[in-house]
Amino acid sequence: MTNHDYDEQRNFARMNIKTQITYKIKNSDGRSYQGISGDLSATGLYMTDVPLKEDDEIELVMTPSGDRLPPFVAEAKVLRATVDEEDSNKFHVSIELTKTA
């Protein structure tokens, strides 16, 4: 087991990055959708406001505000997707990054 100095025992630290994400669901109609990132790690991403289902595979582009960083482009798979208990139009989605550009 890896020893970390942060409370949550994960293999990689998570960065709190709240920015817009554009994504497409693979093998669908090719439409683009918008979501909001919550945090990012080396292998995963948490998003809200996206009606995705478990096992959906997506292509995503995260564009940080400002022009200091280039867009982050990746392919990913949805691990968990739940509806918010207080707002049924809001979703909580955990994503595994499968390929980054």
pLDDT tens, residue by residue, 68-83: 778 889 999 999 999 9
CB neighbours of 67 closer than 8 A, spacing ≥ 6? none
C-alpha span between 89 and 51 (Å, rounded): 8
**What are the tokens at 24?**
């497409």
Residue 45's Cβ-side half-sphere holds a number of Cα atoms within 13 Å equal to 29
Are 83 and 90 in contact by the 8 Å Cβ rule? The answer is yes
C-alpha span between 29 and 42 (Å, rounded): 29
Residue 14: per-residue pLDDT: 64
Residue 3: per-residue pLDDT: 45
How many whole angstroms from its chain centre is CA 77?
Answer: 9
Q: Which residues of the chain have pLDDT under 70?
A: 1-14
